[in-house]
Amino acid sequence: MFQRRKNSFKGIILSLVFLLAFSAFAGFAGANTKQDAAKAYGDFNFSSSKKTSVIVELNEPSIIEAKHKGQKQSKQNLKKVRDNVKANVQKVAKNANVNREYDHVFSGFSVEVKESDIPELLKVPGVKAIYPNVEYTVDTVGEGIEIDALEISPEMMDSAPFIGSDKAWAEGFTGEGITVAILDTGVDYKHPDLEDNFGDYKGWDFVDNNDSPQETPVGDPRGGSTNHGTHVAGTVAANGAIKGVAPEATLLSYRVLGPGGRGTTENVIAGIERAVQDGADIMNLSLGNTLNSPDFATSLALDWAMAEGVVAVTSNGNSGPHNWTVGSPGTSREAISVGATQLPYDLYRSELFTSEGVEYPSAKVMGYSDVEKLKALNGQELEFVDVGLGAVKDFEGKDLKGKIALISRGDFAFVDKATNAKAAGAAGIIMYNNVAGEMPDVPGLALPTIKLDDVDGKNFVKEFSAGNNTVLFTVKFDKVVGETVANFSSRGPVMDTWMIKPDVSAPGVAIVSTVPTHNSANPHGYASLQGTSMAAPHVAGAAALILQANPNWSVDFVKASLMNTAENLYDINEKLYPHNTQGAGSIRVVDAIHADTLITPGSHSFGVFLNGEETEVKAQQFTINNLSKDRKRYSFDVKFNEKGIKVTTSRNLVVQPNRSQDVNFNAHVDASKLAPGYYEGTITVSDGTKTYEVPTILFVGEPDYPRANQ
């Protein structure tokens, strides 16, 4: 294992203190004038006697926080302070039950109390904040598609080569010597493609509290079996029939999500602490909640893990495509938050015919997993069967073999409807909307699927009712679509810090990787899944390759290398995606490995401009890190497209080899010339040979974030 890389953690201490002191959340309650007012984050009913589990954060700093603030701290002192607070909590909240305790990257404990006790807990000396012990779930879309082991081929693993992993392997960078912690549903460490990535110590199970962090098996009375963590681990480092991004990396598993892929804040924080203490170089958290807060407990824990030199990678969430949908821990100030993309694909046009005089102008290809099966529909006239919502019970007693399933949107995921239709023997699907408008494309569906809007869908149902139950397909190639952002991928920005999220994007649609079979006699399990859960481990694996190639790089450098060298992404109409949709762009690992200029941080927010009558000026700063052996002269250009925004900075800057230098610039915003809203720009840095783009944003007037989600 490589020696832990230290992060300079420049500027984060002051920003954390400031934002913790001044950020506003619904459900806030403050008391105790003898210390900084403690805060309650989340939505509590203080008049309820119902029991709830909460996370209590202490004023006393954790071991890592104290270290980076230049203070002395010990486990013994923290225990003494924590025990004192716990005793006082017991006095004001009778029958309070303390569960987990934290001291490394987070200072506090979890406790079960009545909601009505929380205002009194906020008055307890030493309490800094109280957070709800919210549920975390895996960030996948649908149930996925199982793939027979005999069908696995190198061609199916397109995503790792797409980001350049195979080129990094050819240069000798395979992740060897780098340890990646998987905080998830557990990992099937006996899977043939993963067993060599694990040593004697496998990690820890925080659900069952033992040293065997396996996936939840079939038949667990507490809930459904899981496969998510194994799929994530395979994307990072599988080394068998499937090859992950960093196939020779060492893996550790921390089971923080249990049956059904669900878990709690208290276990996620415990997993973060344990991974740091166990010496992980990188940790991957393909999980999330819906709280858009940079100051939620898990986000803060990841900030301090990054401060300690552990590269933290987290999924951005699957609540897109609207802004403000990123959730914790994707809201972390420091961790690398990842959005999901779809790899380039062929776009096909489609037409449907049922009878003369009836047209379906909204008909479009929604998705497919096998292009040959989609093209095979062309010119065919097939019988279709109305199966309602497409639930398993809707297919009972109906013959779908070789026919088309007519399915309505609603109740559950498109991918699950498609999986049910395939299981029933259908040759394809016609999916119609149950509300006005067009449904999203869903790549990787189990069967070729044509989508209709609600109007055309009603006409199709009328045809069936009238006895016209055959449909003629026309399917033709249209064009090649480049890498695009998945519709489900959550968008930023982050409330209070107004940061751009995600930081970067990576493939997350129809990703083939390892899964457990829960059958020791047949351990070779594989499946295609999609979600930002699948995107994050591409970045974690890329970070392992980068660290092997550059063992002395800080976490800031790793993050910046991925952001500074990312490729811009364009939608199907070749329009550049907004920063809060794609981040800095899609990662390219070889370019990141060989970056000789790094700009830190890799994105900027000027924040909020509220003065509507005169020009307001705000300063910002970034650092140019010249890692080359040559003296370099850098020039800068900052562009916002709107009049009323002007950014001033140095015309050029000379940086000596292996040196760093700060660059100051000011944003001048005349709000009287601008409508309230969100504005984005790009900082372009050039060394005369290469150019680097740094995303930047600002807000005029009060940001339009959804208050109900706070």
CA distance 662 to 401: 66
Q: Is residue 228 annotated as a catalytic residue, yes or no? A: yes
- Contact (Cβ atoms closer than 8 angstroms) between residue 105 and residue 274: no
CA distance 342 to 687: 32
CA distance 602 to 556: 9
pLDDT, tens digit, 9 for 90 and up, residues 211-227: 999 999 999 999 999 99
Which of 23-32, 388-397, 694-703 has the weakest average pLDDT? 23-32
CA distance 314 to 319: 15
Stretch 27-43: mean pLDDT, rounded? Answer: 60
Catalytic entry in 139, 184, 496, 503:
184
What are the start-end ranges of the E strands in 80-199? Answer: 97-102, 108-114, 127-132, 135-138, 145-147, 179-184
Q: Is residue 8 annotated as a catalytic residue, yes or no? A: no
Extents of the domains making up the chain: 31-133, 137-341+485-590, 345-480, 596-709
Q: Is the pLDDT of residue 636 over 80?
A: yes
* Predicted local distance difference test score (pLDDT) of residue 17: 27
pLDDT, tens digit, 9 for 90 and up, residues 664-709: 999 999 988 899 999 999 999 999 999 999 999 999 988 988 754 3
Q: Is the pLDDT of residue 253 over 90?
A: yes
558: confidence class by pLDDT, cuts 50, 70, 90: very high
| 70, 577, 679 from 645: Cα distances, Å | 40, 21, 9
499: confidence class by pLDDT, cuts 50, 70, 90: very high
* Predicted local distance difference test score (pLDDT) of residue 32: 36
CATH 3.10.310.10 fits 137-341+485-590, yes or no: no
Q: Is the peptide bond before 493 cis (omega within 30 degrees of 0)?
A: yes
* Torsions phi, psi for 274 (to 5 deg): -65, -40
Q: Is residue 53 annotated as a catalytic residue, yes or no? A: no
Second CATH level (architecture) for the domain 345-480 = 3-Layer(bba) Sandwich (3.50)
Q: Is the peptide bond before 601 cis (omega within 30 degrees of 0)?
A: yes
pLDDT, tens digit, 9 for 90 and up, residues 43-102: 888 989 999 999 999 999 999 999 999 999 999 999 999 999 999 999 999 889 999 999
* Torsions phi, psi for 610 (to 5 deg): -105, -15
CA distance 440 to 93: 49
CB atoms within 10 A of CB 524: 18
Q: Is the pLDDT of residue 427 over 50?
A: yes
**Average pLDDT in the chain:** 89
- Tokens 């061609």 appear where? 155
CA distance 252 to 266: 19
- Contact (Cβ atoms closer than 8 angstroms) between residue 55 and residue 265: yes
Stretch 94-115: mean pLDDT, rounded? Answer: 95
Catalytic entry in 191, 228, 518, 579:
228
290: confidence class by pLDDT, cuts 50, 70, 90: confident
145: confidence class by pLDDT, cuts 50, 70, 90: low
Which of 1-15, 27-41, 135-149, 397-411 has the weakest average pLDDT? 1-15
Share of the chain above pLDDT 70, in %: 92
117: left (phi over 0), alpha (psi -120 to 50) or beta: alpha
Stretch 562-583: mean pLDDT, rounded? Answer: 96
* Predicted local distance difference test score (pLDDT) of residue 73: 94
2: confidence class by pLDDT, cuts 50, 70, 90: very low
Catalytic entry in 293, 533, 561, 603:
533
Superfamily the domain 31-133 falls into? Peptidase S8 propeptide/proteinase inhibitor I9 (3.30.70.80)
At 300, list the tokens: 């803060």
- Contact (Cβ atoms closer than 8 angstroms) between residue 443 and residue 423: no
**Terminal-to-terminal C-alpha distance of the chain:** 41
CATH 3.40.50.720 fits 596-709, yes or no: no
CA distance 291 to 495: 10
pTM to 2 decimals? 0.87
Indicate the Cα dihedral angle 372, 376, 378, 384, nearest 10°. Answer: -120
Residues in the chain: 710
Sign of CA dihedral 281, 287, 291, 296: negative
Which of 318-332, 512-526, 590-604, 611-625 has the weakest average pLDDT? 611-625
CA distance 183 to 162: 25
